[in-house]
């Protein structure tokens, strides 16, 4: 059975000290880096998932997260990135939620948000929890509300409940429009850009009402995929 020690040993063995230095400079967050490429982490996580059940996976994921090693936190998120988690995905969702206040860099945050997207789609009622993040003093938590809710940009023919959720999240984005933190503005642009592929009318309406409050780069990002 894969243990925290075995998992960390495997990550360290796959590391590259020179790449680790480059990653530290790139991510600009002071934590340990091993220099392991994402495809290698994917292969390791695939093997670990095959070796342990969900309960053990949760324990391993949390242990890797607590190590604060960049690649270990990415691996922790990947361990929980799965459309269906049986018999009960509640503990996985709770663990993901517990990590959100620790976010301090986009790469780790995005990997966790991808795992969280699967859990939100599995139970959209969890958007009630995410809505609370929009009022957080922690920028990365506010940003996570939009990144984790990206699945609601993707339906071409949304059902009434999906459309209501889409409008709800657009309300969050509207509330962010005057927050000029770069990452918040980028998240608005990202959400609207993805939505523009499926619902250009709502994107145009949003920009008409809130574009003047947004940073120009965010408006450009939001509209660059809009059909002519």
Give the CATH fold of the 124-228 domain. 1.25.40
The predicted pLDDT at position 87 comes to 87
156 and 198 Cβ atoms separated by less than 8 Å: yes
**Length of the chain in terms of residues written:** 228
pLDDT along the chain (228 residues), means of 10: 93 98 97 98 97 96 98 98 93 98 98 98 98 98 98 96 98 98 98 98 98 98 93
- CA distances (Å), origin 226, targets 79, 144, 170, 208, 210: 35, 24, 17, 14, 17
pTM summary value? 0.96
Return the axis-axis angle of helices 54-67 and 90-99, rounded to nearest 10°. 10
The predicted pLDDT at position 228 comes to 76
83 and 118 Cβ atoms separated by less than 8 Å: yes
Token pair of 187, please?
């998240």
Rounded to whole angstroms, the Cα distance separating 128 from 152 reads: 14
The predicted pLDDT at position 1 comes to 76
189 and 217 Cβ atoms separated by less than 8 Å: yes
Rounded to whole angstroms, the Cα distance separating 108 from 157 reads: 32
The CATH 1.25.40.290 domain(s) of the chain lie at 124-228
């Amino acid at each position: 059975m894969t243990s925290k020690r075995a998992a960390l040993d495997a990550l360290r063995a796959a590391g590259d000290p020179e790449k680790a230095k480059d990653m530290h400079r790139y991510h600009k967050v002071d934590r340990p880096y091993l220099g392991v490429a994402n495809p290698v982490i994917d292969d390791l996580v695939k093997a670990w998932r095959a070796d342990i059940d969900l309960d053990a996976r949760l324990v391993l994921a949390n242990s890797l997260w607590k190590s604060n090693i960049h690649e270990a936190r990415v691996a922790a998120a990947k361990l929980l990135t799965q459309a269906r988690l049986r018999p009960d995905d509640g503990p996985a969702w709770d663990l993901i939620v517990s990590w959100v206040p620790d976010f301090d860099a986009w790469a780790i945050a995005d990997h966790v948000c991808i795992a969280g997207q699967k859990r939100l789609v599995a139970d959209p009622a969890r958007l009630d929890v995410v809505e609370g993040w929009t009022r957080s003093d922690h920028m990365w938590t506010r940003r996570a509300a939009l990144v984790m809710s990206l699945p609601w940009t993707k339906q071409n023919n949304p059902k009434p409940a999906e459309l209501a959720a889409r409008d709800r999240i657009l309300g969050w984005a509207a509330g962010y429009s005057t927050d000029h933190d770069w990452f918040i503005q980028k998240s608005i642009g990202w959400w609207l850009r993805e939505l523009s592929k499926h619902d250009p009318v709502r994107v145009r309406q949003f920009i008409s009402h809130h574009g003047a409050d947004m940073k120009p780069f965010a408006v450009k990002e939001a509209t660059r995929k809009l059909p002519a």
